[in-house]
């Protein structure tokens, strides 16, 4: 065989072998890629049957007065009310998650962290991201809720369920809730005796349990007056019970039943255990009186909201461990400029109420200290005459909240 013919055959064989190897790896790669795509696609499928099986619908929204927020431990907001009603209609519970912006809303859905966007987005944006517009919608604005395309049954159920009247009713329900008296009191206990050093029938309990958290008993008494007016049977519309207005969920943390929260000593003891927990969480605040103000604010408005206000104070060059500085941001966390700030993680709150709560308790405490000695006389067992519940929210009374136009509320 001529040499050049041998070289041609050898070269052809090498090229053919190389082509076969490349083809093999190419097919293998395409097969692997196809397998990965199929796996990803399967992972994204989570529809109504899966939600029913889990017993929970996860909705994501953006915090705000027209969408979702927490008030005295209760979930509030029209978007929340509607999402909860839909979940209830399907026999499942609702869980709310909060996103910072529309981009994060969509990420929650696309990464299977939520089943439903319970916030009205532009339908053009929903379409652009390959989602399904469904449920609550406003035709004039071309906005809607959204779910993944892999949740067509959930989409159909939402469209079948939603009617415009539901949103109107949700708005009415929310307004009705917030216009109620915050606490329904069954009895009014007056200031007993300055001469004998008695504030309430529960002074001995305030002394005993105040010592366990290093609080002046008169501060606990001032807080109790603010919470319930010393009425052990007081109930708030949000479900808080007793002298110190403990939520049943908080009672459960300490092994206390809802009915036990009406017992004065158990209620006060549970409250002080919660105060101690909050005091430990604010251990970074060195001054004890300052720490007490932060604890009172968290008791009323929620620990994480107060941490948000501290983050804002730090961002704006204020002292995050000074209540005088942080209270400004607590007061204004009801304004989009602040509750939508990137450093805020827990969104909207009714901050003016929490500001007033702390201010009124500290004012009453100072009054008690001015006329009641540190060690009380034995508490008197005086009967109280039942009276009608207050018709107004206790914070609608004239109080000492400083106006937001005051100079102390101007950021410099």
Secondary structure (DSSP) of 240-306: -BTTTTB-HHHHHHTT--TGGGGSHHHHHHHHHHHHHHHHHHTTT--SHHHHHHHHHHHHHH-HHHH
Query: What is the model's pLDDT at position 236?
Result: 87
The one-digit pLDDT tens for each residue of the chain (412 residues) are 554 444 444 455 545 555 554 444 454 444 444 433 333 344 468 999 999 999 999 999 999 888 998 877 778 888 998 999 999 999 999 999 999 899 999 999 999 999 999 999 999 999 999 999 999 999 999 999 999 999 999 999 999 999 988 877 877 776 666 555 555 555 555 556 777 788 999 999 999 999 999 999 999 999 999 999 999 999 988 889 999 999 999 999 999 999 999 999 999 999 999 999 999 999 999 999 999 999 999 999 999 999 999 999 999 999 999 999 999 999 999 999 999 999 999 999 999 999 999 999 999 999 999 888 776 655 444 333 333 333 333 333 333 333 344 433 344 4
- Pick from 316, 398, 339: which is nearest to 65 by CA? 339
> Which stretch of DSSP H or E encloses residue 198?
none
CA distance readout (Å), 276 to 72, 263, 325: 19, 20, 23
Q: What is the pLDDT of residue 391?
A: 33
**183-409: CATH number:** 1.10.530.10
Sequence spans of domains, the chain: 48-179, 183-409
Instruction: Please report the pLDDT score of residue 191 as a whole number.
Output: 57
CATH class for domain 48-179? alpha beta
User: Is this prediction's pTM over 0.75?
Assistant: no
């Amino acid at each position: 065989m001529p040499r050049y013919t041998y070289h041609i055959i050898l070269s052809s064989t090498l090229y053919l072998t190389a082509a076969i190897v490349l083809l093999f790896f190419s097919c293998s790669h395409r097969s692997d890629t196809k397998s990965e795509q199929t796996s990803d696609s399967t992972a994204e499928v989570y529809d109504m049957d899966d939600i029913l099986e889990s017993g929970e619908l996860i909705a994501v929204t953006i915090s705000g007065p027209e969408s979702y927020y927490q008030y005295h431990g209760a979930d509030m907001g029209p978007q929340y009310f509607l999402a909860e009603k839909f979940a209830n209609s399907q026999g499942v519970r609702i869980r709310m998650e909060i996103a910072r912006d529309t981009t994060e809303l969509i990420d929650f859905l696309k990464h299977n962290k939520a089943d439903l966007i319970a916030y009205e987005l532009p339908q053009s944006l929903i379409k652009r991201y390959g989602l399904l517009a469904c449920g609550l919608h406003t035709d004039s604005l071309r906005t809607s809720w959204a779910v993944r395309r892999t949740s067509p049954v959930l989409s159909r159920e939402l469209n079948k369920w939603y009617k415009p009247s539901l949103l109107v009713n949700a708005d009415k329900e929310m307004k009705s809730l917030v216009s109620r008296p915050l606490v329904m009191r069954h009895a009014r206990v007056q200031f007993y005796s300055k001469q004998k050093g008695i504030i309430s029938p529960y002074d001995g309990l305030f002394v005993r349990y105040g010592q366990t958290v290093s609080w002046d008993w008169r501060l606990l008494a001032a807080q109790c007056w603010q919470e319930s007016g010393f009425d052990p049977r007081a109930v708030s519309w949000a479900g808080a019970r007793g002298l110190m207005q403990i939520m049943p969920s908080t009672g459960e943390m300490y092994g206390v039943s809802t009915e036990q929260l009406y017992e004065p000593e158990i209620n006060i003891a549970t409250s002080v255990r919660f105060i101690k927990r909050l005091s430990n969480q604010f251990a970074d605040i060195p001054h004890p009186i300052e720490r007490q103000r932060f604890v009172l604010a968290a008791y009323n408005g929620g620990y994480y909201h107060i941490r948000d206000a501290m983050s804002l104070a730090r961002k704006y060059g204020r002292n995050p461990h000074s209540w005088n500085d942080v209270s400004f941001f607590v007061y204004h966390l009801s304004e989009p400029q602040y509750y939508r700030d990137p450093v805020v993680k827990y969104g909207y709150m009714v901050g003016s109420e929490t500001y007033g709560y702390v201010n009124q308790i500290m004012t009453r405490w100072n009054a008690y200290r001015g006329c009641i000695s540190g060690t009380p006389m034995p508490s008197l067992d005086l009967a109280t005459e039942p009276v009608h519940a207050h018709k107004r929210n206790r914070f609608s009374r004239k109080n000492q909240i400083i106006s937001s136009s005051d100079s102390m509320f101007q950021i410099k």
